[in-house]
Amino acid sequence: MTWGEIKTITLQKMFASGGDDPLGDDLALPYLPAMPYAANEGLHLLAAAGRFLQRALTLDAGGEPAGHMLRYDLRDITGDFYALDTEQIYLETDRGRTPADGAQAEGESILWLPAVPGGVYTVYYYAYPAPVRDNTPDKQELALPPEAAVLLPLYMASQLYKDDDAGLSALYRQEFDVGLEHLRRSAARFRGGRGAFRSATGWW
> Residues 139-194: pLDDT tens digits?
999 888 888 899 999 999 999 999 889 999 999 999 999 999 998 888 766 554 44
| Helix extents (H) in 53-193 | 74-78, 146-149, 152-160, 166-192
Residues of the chain with pLDDT under 70: 16-20, 50-52, 188-204
Instruction: Identify the pLDDT of residue 191.
Output: 53
Q: Residue 197's pLDDT is what?
A: 37
Q: Bridge partners of 84?
A: 125
Nearest to 160 by CA among 23, 33, 22, 26: 33
Q: Are 145 and 127 in contact (CB under 8 A)?
A: no
Q: Which residues contact 113 (CB under 8 A, 6 or more apart)?
A: 59, 61, 69, 70, 72, 89, 100, 102, 103, 104, 121
What pLDDT is attached to residue 129? 82
d(CA 120, CA 62): 8
